[in-house]
């Protein structure tokens, strides 16, 4: 007998039913077939959900019902014995099929129907003096099975939860390692992920304590604001993947309090599942480099961490600085790159830049405004100026190494 089923059996009982007479026991044994047939008819008539099951599921539940009746007769022969074996005999290898086919509420409804069937046959089985004892035995036996069913469902739920967590961790790992799209799509579909667009990935510190509670809470909050979600705990860091998010970037602050102390970094939106890998890699790289910017907002976009990521050896960040900042400024001409370089080199002085370039200060202001429009980073803002300075650095190195 499995430890789960043994644990399901209550230990202390105040009394045991009276042993049946040989005549009642003989009649009960001869009625097993009638009781089983009647029980199956009751299930079909009284439980609409039973009729909606496919034939294999109905057959599995029917066997459980029949086994429950025959095992009751065996147990009734010796009601003073510990009925832990009864639980094993009724369920056997069936808990997996049972929990997959019907809910706990329906399982208890099935047991209640069987009890009603046996009780309806009591007058035909036992003499009037033994009918009360037989009914009491039926109720006692049904209680044992109900306790066992509840325990089986609880343990099955725990097992499913642990298994789901492992599956999620495998999917997160597959995303991070760039598993081929077809394989990744299959893995994601296996855990119920349905979305195919607007995927956001967050990376933060795993709380030092209550990591199980952390994952459960994070999932519950994620379901309110996204269609699908995945949580992967990778040692001291955790990854949250959201799809079809229903909020703007600023609202991601609602998730930061669930992570441990430290930065929480979020990726740009991944347009499709195929793009999840690049978003995840960027978020992880941003998390690794975020501590180099202590004043960073929390959460912080991984794109806002391009300089720190580039210094930390992230080639994707270096490429982004070159292709999305340096080269557009270079192609814009009108002296934007030269003006920006002088402005940054001269301590952000408009007048000093104007003298250096032999232009009016208003011309410098206009060009710096164009720098902001072209690159998306404002050189008059200290943090943005640092990003632009980094772009100049890596852009020049890139040109030198061509």
The pTM of this model reads 0.60
pLDDT, mean over the chain: 78
**Percent of the chain whose predicted confidence (pLDDT) is above 70:** 76
Beta bridge partners of 231: 240
- Residue 170 structure tokens: 């495998």
Output the pLDDT for position 58. 76
- Work out the average pLDDT over 320-342: 92
- Work out the average pLDDT over 346-353: 93
Nearest residue to 140 via CA among 81, 65, 60? 81
Given a cut of 80, is residue 145 above it in pLDDT?
Answer: no
Q: 129 or 196: whose pLDDT is higher?
A: 129
**Ordered domains of the chain (ranges, CATH):** 3-155 (1.10.490), 181-302 (3.30.70.2730), 315-401 (1.10.10.2840)
Residue 193 to residues 24, 162, 196, 230, 367, Cα–Cα distance (Å): 57, 17, 9, 8, 48
- Work out the average pLDDT over 178-201: 72
Output the pLDDT for position 105. 66
Given a cut of 50, is residue 2 above it in pLDDT?
Answer: no
Most confident residue range from 66-75, 115-124, 315-324: 315-324
Output the pLDDT for position 54. 75
First to last CA, the chain: 72
- Work out the average pLDDT over 307-335: 93
- Sign of torsion over alpha carbons 376, 175, 199, 263: negative
Given a cut of 60, is residue 100 above it in pLDDT?
Answer: no
Count other Cβ atoms within 10 Å, centred on residue 300: 20
Distance CA 263, CA 294 (A): 9
- Residue 341 structure tokens: 């370089």
Least confident of 3-17, 249-263, 308-322, 361-375: 3-17
Each residue of 193-246: pLDDT tens digit?
777 778 888 999 988 776 667 777 888 888 777 788 888 887 788 888 888 776
Contact 249, 160 (CB under 8 A): no
- Work out the average pLDDT over 287-293: 94
CA 348 from chain centre, in angstroms, equals 49
Given a cut of 70, is residue 175 above it in pLDDT?
Answer: yes
């Amino acid at each position: 007998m499995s430890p789960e089923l043994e644990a399901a059996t209550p230990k202390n009982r105040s009394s045991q039913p009276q042993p049946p007479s040989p005549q009642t026991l003989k009649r009960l044994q001869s009625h097993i077939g009638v009781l089983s047939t009647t029980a199956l008819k009751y299930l079909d008539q009284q439980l609409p959900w039973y009729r909606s099951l496919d034939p294999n599921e109905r057959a599995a539940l029917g066997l459980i019902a029949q086994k429950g009746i025959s095992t009751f007769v065996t147990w009734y022969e010796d009601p003073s014995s510990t009925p832990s074996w009864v639980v094993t005999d009724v369920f056997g290898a069936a808990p997996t099929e049972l929990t997959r086919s019907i809910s706990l509420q329906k399982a208890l409804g099935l047991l209640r129907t069987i009890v009603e069937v046996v009780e309806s046959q009591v007058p035909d089985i036992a003499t009037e003096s033994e009918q009360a004892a037989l009914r009491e035995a039926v109720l006692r036996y049904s209680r044992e099975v109900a306790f066992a069913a509840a325990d089986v469902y609880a343990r099955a739920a725990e097992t499913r939860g642990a298994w789901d967590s492992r599956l999620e961790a495998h999917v997160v790992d597959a995303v991070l390692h760039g598993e081929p799209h077809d394989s990744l799509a299959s893995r994601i579909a296996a855990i119920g992920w349905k979305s195919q667009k607007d995927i956001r990935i967050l990376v933060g510190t795993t709380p030092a304590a209550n990591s199980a509670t952390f994952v459960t809470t994070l999932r519950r909050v994620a379901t309110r604001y996204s269609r699908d979600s995945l949580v992967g705990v990778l040692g001291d860091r955790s990854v949250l993947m959201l799809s079809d998010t229903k909020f703007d970037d600023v609202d991601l602050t609602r998730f930061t309090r669930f992570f441990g102390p430290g930065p929480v970094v979020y990726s740009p939106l991944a347009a499709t599942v195929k793009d999840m890998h690049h978003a995840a890699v960027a978020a992880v790289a941003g998390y690794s480099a975020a501590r180099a910017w202590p004043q960073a907002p929390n959460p912080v976009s991984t794109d806002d961490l391009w300089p720190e990521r580039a210094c930390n050896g992230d080639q994707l960040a270096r490429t982004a600085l070159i292709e999305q900042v340096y080269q557009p400024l270079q192609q814009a001409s009108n002296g934007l790159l030269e003006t920006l370089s002088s402005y940054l080199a001269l301590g952000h002085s408009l007048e000093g830049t104007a003298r250096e370039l032999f232009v009016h200060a208003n011309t410098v202001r206009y060009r710096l405004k164009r720098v902001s429009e072209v690159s998306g980073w404002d050189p008059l803002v200290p943090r943005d100026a640092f990003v632009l300075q980094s772009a100049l650095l890596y852009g020049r190195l890139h040109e030198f190494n061509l």
